[in-house]
């Protein structure tokens, strides 16, 4: 199963800083290395879709490529921010160092620095690096006015499961709306369990959402308990 490797970046001039900044999202999981916090993963990290970033690139990874990239990046998590270094599981590094290492792993070579803050856009525009402009979501599959557009962008797992007890209002309900929209995309807005109807994207994890989550899980080899945890979340991110 392929996964998107998405890059977000902004230059020093755009951020009004000495350096620019760069972070990424791989298969819906954010990775970032930043000053004062070090190498981060998941909801603690700003991913490619952060509003901080002005420029975006993506590459479709095979399962093996994604596994290499994530194994490397996961090994760097917790290491401190160290300017000028490519991080590893034993030492810290900086933002471009972490992303250089991840891109290196995507190419199947040992992690090494591929670019600096002054050269990253030139590097990512190079066809040999294998990235294309944009985040890579198939936005043309649904018209902009479709309420399911909330589910088109990959989203990192927020760290808690979702089920019939999830709140119906607030940030949690926004995650439920994303789940519902992704389920509709997976089912092409037609669910046999709902007599051919699409799910209402309303943020309420009710009986209908529970039914479709169970079907989605069972069709993908999971037990089908009707709760959206990290495994189901990753499968929803993989929907294209």
- Range in 66-80, 154-168, 218-232 with the lowest mean pLDDT: 154-168
The SS3 call for residue 157 is coil
Torsion of CA 72, 73, 75, 76, to 10 degrees: 120
Of the residues 133, 149, 179, the one at which a domain ends = 133
pTM exceeds 0.85: no
User: 81-124 pLDDT, tens per residue?
Assistant: 999 999 999 999 999 999 999 999 999 999 999 988 778 778 88
| CB-facing half-sphere around the CA of 49: CA atoms within 13 A | 18
Helix (H, G, I), strand (E, B) or coil at 99: helix
196 shares a domain with 112? no
> Can you give the residue range of the structural domain that contains 110?
3-133
Residues 154 and 128 in one domain: no
Q: Whole-angstrom Cα distance, residue 196 to residue 189? A: 8
Same domain, 193 and 117: no
- In this predicted structure, what is the pLDDT of residue 143? 40
β-partners of residue 228 are 162
């Amino acid at each position: 199963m392929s996964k998107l490797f998405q890059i977000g970046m902004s230059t020093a001039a755009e951020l009004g800083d000495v350096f620019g900044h760069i972070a990424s999202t791989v298969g819906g999981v954010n990775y970032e290395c930043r000053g004062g916090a070090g190498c981060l993963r998941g909801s603690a990290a700003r991913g490619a879709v952060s509003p901080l970033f002005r420029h975006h690139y993506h590459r479709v990874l095979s399962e093996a490529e994604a596994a290499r990239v994530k194994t490397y990046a996961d090994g760097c998590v917790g290491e401190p921010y160290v300017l000028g270094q490519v991080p590893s599981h034993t030492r810290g590094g900086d933002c471009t160092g972490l992303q250089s290492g991840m891109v290196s792993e995507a190419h199947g070579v040992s992690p090494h620095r591929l670019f600096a803050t002054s050269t990253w856009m030139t590097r990512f525009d190079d066809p040999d690096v294998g990235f294309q402009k944009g985040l890579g979501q198939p936005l043309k599959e649904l018209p902009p006015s479709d309420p399911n557009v909330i589910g088109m962008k990959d989203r990192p797992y927020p760290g808690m499961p979702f089920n019939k007890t999830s709140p119906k209002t607030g940030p949690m309900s926004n995650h439920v709306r994303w789940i519902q929209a992704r389920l509709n995309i997976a089912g092409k807005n037609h669910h046999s369990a709902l007599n051919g109807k699409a799910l209402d994207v309303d943020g309420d994890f009710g009986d209908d959402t529970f039914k479709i989550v169970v079907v989605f899980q069972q069709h993908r080899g999971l037990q089908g308990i009707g709760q959206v945890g990290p495994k189901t979340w990753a499968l929803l991110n993989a929907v294209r």
